[in-house]
Amino acid sequence: MLSPKTQYFPHRQRGFVSIAAVVFVILCVLFILMQTLGMLGNKSIDSVQYLNGMKALYNAESGVERALGSISKTIAGDDSQLNAACAVARLDNSGSTNPIPFAGGSFQYDSNITPTPPVGTCGIRVIGKFGQAQRTVQSLVNVSSEIGTAGFGHNIMMRLENSASVPGVAVFNLAWRRHGSTGHSTSGGQINASACTLPSCGMEWNIESSSGIPSIGTLGTAVGIGATSGVDVVQTLSGDRNYSEVGMVMPGLLAQPVIKGAFADDKRTANTANNTVTTGDTSSGEAKGWCNAADTLVFGVSGRGNDDVTGAFASVVFNSAGSPAQPIPLTWIAHFPNTDGTTPAVFGDVFSEIWYTYNPYVLLSGATSVGTTITVPSAVTLKAGTILKVYSGTGTLAGNTKVVADVVSKTQFQVTAAPTTALNNATVCGGICALFNNPASASSSTTFALTRATNAAQQWAGGFICLSGVDPTKVHRIARSSAKISQWNEIVSD
């Protein structure tokens, strides 16, 4: 028989075990509930952060689109303004990089763009924010341009845009096949062109390279254009032919430039030779009046491409054989169609180009010289780099004599070379006058030379237009341009 101290109660111990098990289960359930609630809370926070991050990314992308629109608007009429448009696009309306409120958050442009964007592109980096979230996007923007028009037909239209705040003058050069057209069946013999149909534009030349099947036609027209405005310019041929056209815009300094005149010599012999270098010549524009008191000389030229899109001119030099020697390389403005074969619906049998040069006009009388110092009776204002030439009187300036530094209301100035014959009561001119050979002589001629880039360039026909009052800092080719994103990436940081 067991004593009271050692009695065994199995049912009571089972009761204790059951209570402990229940408590344990309850604790486990509470722990699981707490973990679940914690996970749900964290998930909710994560969802908010995720959504804020996506909104921040959208804001950053909106900043990129804003910049793209700004750039597209600026370069629409002048595709050379990408760098300037890029700088403006990365700023807010106050000209700073302050955050720009947007869609409940903001975006902000960052000038720290790495790596440095390639030449000809614009780098845009934007920081988008929403709540505590921040995302950074960087894009490269480049320009797609068509710098002319080409095709087959008889009505040719180009859109003229002047983005400058002053009126300007546009010059167009239209080239066309006079007999037949590669890739097309044509009827009739030689065809001609009429001037553009706008009342404000005028024909400056309408000539051909020569008679016969290889002949190329060229039509030069000048169009006045108001400030920050645009207009469609239409040219008409008398029959369907392959054609190509380019143009340039020359805004004025304070008002619309003045067209002084034009020169073209019809059916030359030299321009039909398939030589590497061919030449032509002009009369003295100063003495003859077609280029009197001008500061800008424009050369429009049409060429046969021998069914090869690489046909083009590598250089045009004015006064290539003067006395004294004073060759003036003209600046290339435009060529069309593209020499890489990317222009659709062309066959390389015809191309069009425009070249130009600028030299500030001045006419100084009573000039004398001692060494490289020139003295005039009245105070003058001159620009550094202005080419000068003796128009009349005693004295001779060396070829390409230039003003050394800017001159403001002075009677003495320095030139780059001492006159070969000292000046004594001489009349000295700048502008295009100084580029002609013996500019005061109505019987003198000035030679110019064209060097072809490839053997594909054959016959050519061209003409000159002179203008005064041009702003050389705003001269540009006519182009249909648009901006597009060529690269997009998100910048990941700590």
Q: What is the pLDDT of residues 71-82, one digit of tens each?
A: 888 887 778 888
- Does 284 lie in the same domain as 199? yes
Q: Which amino acid is at 402?
A: K
Residue 34's pLDDT is what? Answer: 63
pLDDT-based confidence at residue 144 (cuts at 50, 70, 90): confident
Instruction: Quickly state the pLDDT bin for 30 (edges 50, 70, 90).
Output: low
Residue 51 forms part of a structural domain: no
Is 329 found in the same domain as 422?
Answer: no
The pTM for the full model equals 0.80
Q: Residue 105 belongs to a domain with what CATH number? A: 3.30.1300
Least confident segment among 179-193, 301-315, 386-400 = 179-193
Pairing of strands 373-382, 216-225: unpaired
302's tokens: 């049409």
Position 411: which residue type? T
Domain for residue 335, yes or no? yes
Query: How confident is the prediction for the chain on average, in pLDDT?
Result: 88
Predicted confidence (pLDDT) at residue 57 exceeds the cutoff of 70? yes
pLDDT tens-digit profile of 192-221?
Answer: 887 677 766 788 999 988 867 788 999 999
Predicted pLDDT of residue 2: 44
Same domain, residue pair 404 and 293? no
Res 22: pLDDT:
65
Q: 32 vs 18, 20, 47, CA distance in Å?
A: 21, 18, 22
Same domain assignment for residues 95 and 207: no
Structure confidence at residue 244 (pLDDT): 96
> Is residue 292 domain-shared with residue 153, that is, in the same domain?
yes
Structure confidence at residue 205 (pLDDT) = 92
pLDDT of residue 23: 64
CB 147 within 8 A of CB 340: no
* Domain limits for position 159: 148-361+437-478
Q: Is 60 exceeded by the pLDDT of residue 43?
A: no
The Cα 303–Cα 311 span in angstroms is: 8
Q: Are residues 297 and 167 in the same domain?
A: yes
The residue among 397 and 70 whose pLDDT is bigger is: 397
Q: Which residue has the tokens 């780059």?
A: 416
At residue 1, the pLDDT reads 42
- Percentage of the chain modeled with pLDDT above 70: 89
Angle at 313 between CA 84 and CA 257, to 5 degrees: 50
Domains identified in the chain, total number: 3
Kindly report the CA angle at 244 between 240 and 249, in degrees rounded to 5? 130
d(CA 309, CA 491): 42
Highest mean pLDDT range out of 149-163, 200-214, 430-444? 430-444
Within a domain: residue 101?
yes
The answer to whether residue 2 sits within a structural domain is: no
Distance CA(429)–CA(445), nearest Å, equals 17
Q: Are residues 78 and 192 in the same domain?
A: no
| Per-residue confidence band for 21, with pLDDT thresholds at 50, 70 and 90 | low
What integer pLDDT is reported at residue 46 of this predicted model?
63
